[in-house]
């Protein structure tokens, strides 16, 4: 695979995005997650070409889920690509074939974290595109996500937040960066063609049993034809606007949370919350603070009903109380406080 450099619009676009958003610091060690598909192959080539300007040290990682019979050959191809570009290559093969998309994903992020840790890469870079962002927004909208789910794929975040089940000590400091969120799948495909980059076609992407694939293959083309040819860009822009708004709300929530919550000394769990202060704030913030508190007192992720139940106590009469939340905790009103009773849990 030759490494001839033809400077294209995509090179300039990515270079500019990286400068504007300060996503990938100069001279950083970057672990590029490559599946062999057009998005991550395009990402790798772009980063390789920009590397002299930024001084990064690039490494390539492939996670073999063993889901497809050609997954080994897929890995060999990426190994060959990395070798021809003189980049270190890391490969992990699943010992057990994951039984669902979710387990495969969990395993993949675990492996990415372990390799990043072992070989000292503080940043993992993935090839998620504007098209993935539009699809994720639609997928989450249909599932009933709030604005947090609709911001759909952020530019960067800690790997720990991406996969909270991973060991926090391992992942808290590793950043996951997605620099292609302004570039469409059509553009990555064209780039690979123009640069004669072979790509590995993931045959499971054709399988319409998966909701994601139906969104990609059927829903988006329908929306493009019958509603708006620019729908993909518009959805991705909506996700970007929501991302900024969610960021802003998150920072307000954090400040308010610290103001209203009294923590138990030993367990550091929320013990009681000041509802007089909460009552003076907007209901959007009341919900967010309630959710943040419930995340710390419940045994599972709070849903809409749980949050509404706690929020209702903010203006309820004295002595009102909730049914037990999952995990057994009860909340009750004691004058200006909402108090959590852990004894029953
Ligand atoms: N098997 C793999 N090995 C290494 N990197 C991968 C692999 N699969 C996906 N990736 C990385 O993740 C990016 C997104 O891939 P894809 O859209 O297939 O994943 P997804 O499962 O839909 O996304 P997510 O990982 O956010 O759930 C790719 O561009 C690539 O950077």
CA–CA separation, 62 and 22 (whole Å): 26
Residue 144 has pLDDT above 90, yes or no: no
Residue nearest to atom 27 of ligand 1 (CA): 105
Nearest CA to 35 out of 26, 43, 23, 27 is that of 43
Complex prediction ipTM: 0.95
194 and 336 in a single domain? The answer is no
Atom of ligand 1 nearest to the CA of 101: 21
Q: Is the CB of 154 under 6 A from ligand 1?
A: no
Does the residue 320 lie in any domain?
Answer: yes
pLDDT at 166: 56
Distance in Å, CA 37 to ligand 1 centroid = 9
Does the residue 60 lie in any domain?
Answer: yes
203 and 90 in a single domain? The answer is yes
Residue 253's pLDDT band, with cuts at 50, 70 and 90, is very high
104 and 224 in a single domain? The answer is yes
288 and 189 in a single domain? The answer is no
Q: Is 36 annotated as a binding residue?
A: yes
pLDDT at 173: 84
Per the structure, how many domains does the chain have? 2
Q: Is 37 annotated as a binding residue?
A: yes
CA–CA separation, 269 and 285 (whole Å): 20
Of 168-177, 219-228, 277-286, which gets the smallest average pLDDT? 168-177
Residue nearest to atom 8 of ligand 1 (CA): 35
Residue nearest to atom 29 of ligand 1 (CA): 127
Residue nearest to atom 18 of ligand 1 (CA): 35
Residue 165 has pLDDT above 60, yes or no: no
Ligand 1 pocket test, pick from 62, 90, 108, 109 with the greatest ligand atom count within 8 Å of Cβ, gives 108
Of 166-175, 178-187, 229-238, 275-284, which gets the smallest average pLDDT? 166-175
Q: Is 40 annotated as a binding residue?
A: yes
Which one of 242, 273, 294 terminates a domain?
242
Distance in Å, CA 31 to ligand 1 centroid = 13
Does the residue 149 lie in any domain?
Answer: yes
User: Average pLDDT, whole number, for the chain?
Assistant: 92
Radius of gyration of the chain (CA): 23
Q: Is the CB of 71 under 6 A from ligand 1?
A: no
Which one of 212, 242, 272 terminates a domain?
242
280 and 197 in a single domain? The answer is no
61 and 191 in a single domain? The answer is yes
Q: What is the pTM assigned to this prediction?
A: 0.87
Region 236-264: mean pLDDT is 95
182 and 270 in a single domain? The answer is no
Q: Is 39 annotated as a binding residue?
A: yes
pLDDT in tens, 42-81: 999 999 999 999 999 999 999 999 988 899 999 999 999 9
Residue 161 has pLDDT above 60, yes or no: no
Question: What domain range is 141 assigned to?
Answer: 9-242
Nearest CA to 273 out of 287, 297, 257 is that of 257
CB 274 within 8 A of CB 337: yes
177 and 272 in a single domain? The answer is no
């Amino acid at each position: 695979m030759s490494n001839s450099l033809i400077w294209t619009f995509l090179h300039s676009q990515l270079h500019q995005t990286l400068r504007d958003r300060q996503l990938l610091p100069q001279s950083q060690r970057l672990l590029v997650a490559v599946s062999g598909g057009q998005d991550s192959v395009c990402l790798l080539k772009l980063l390789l070409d920009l590397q002299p300007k930024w001084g990064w040290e690039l490494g390539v990682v492939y996670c073999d889920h063993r889901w497809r019979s050609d997954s080994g050959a897929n890995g060999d191809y990426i190994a060959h690509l990395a070798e021809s570009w003189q980049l270190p290559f890391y490969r992990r093969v699943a010992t057990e074939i994951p039984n669902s998309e979710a387990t495969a994903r969990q395993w993949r992020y675990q492996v990415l974290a372990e390799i990043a840790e072992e070989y000292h890469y503080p940043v993992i870079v993935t090839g998620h595109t504007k098209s993935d962002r539009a699809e994720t927004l639609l997928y989450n909208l249909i599932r009933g996500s709030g604005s947090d789910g609709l911001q759909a794929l952020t530019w960067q975040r800690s790997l720990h937040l991406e996969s909270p089940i991973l060991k926090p000590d391992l992942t808290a400091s590793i950043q996951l960066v997605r620099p292609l969120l302004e570039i469409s799948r059509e553009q990555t495909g064209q780039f690979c063609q123009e640069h004669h980059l072979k790509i590995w076609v993931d045959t499971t992407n054709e399988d319409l049993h998966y909701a994601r694939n139906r969104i990609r293959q059927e829903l988006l083309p329908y929306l493009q034809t019958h509603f708006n040819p620019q729908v993909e860009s518009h959805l991705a822009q909506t996700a970007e606007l929501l991302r900024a708004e969610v960021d802003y709300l998150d920072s307000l929530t954090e400040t308010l949370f610290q103001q209203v919550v009294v923590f138990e000394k030993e367990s550091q769990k929320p013990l009681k919350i000041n509802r007089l202060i909460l009552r003076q704030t907007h209901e959007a913030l009341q919900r967010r603070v309630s959710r943040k508190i419930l995340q710390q007192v419940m045994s599972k992720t709070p849903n809409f009903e749980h949050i509404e139940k706690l929020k209702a106590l903010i203006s309820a009469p004295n002595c009102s109380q909730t049914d037990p939340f999952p995990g057994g905790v009860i909340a009750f009103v004691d004058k200006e406080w909402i108090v959590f009773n852990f004894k029953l849990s």
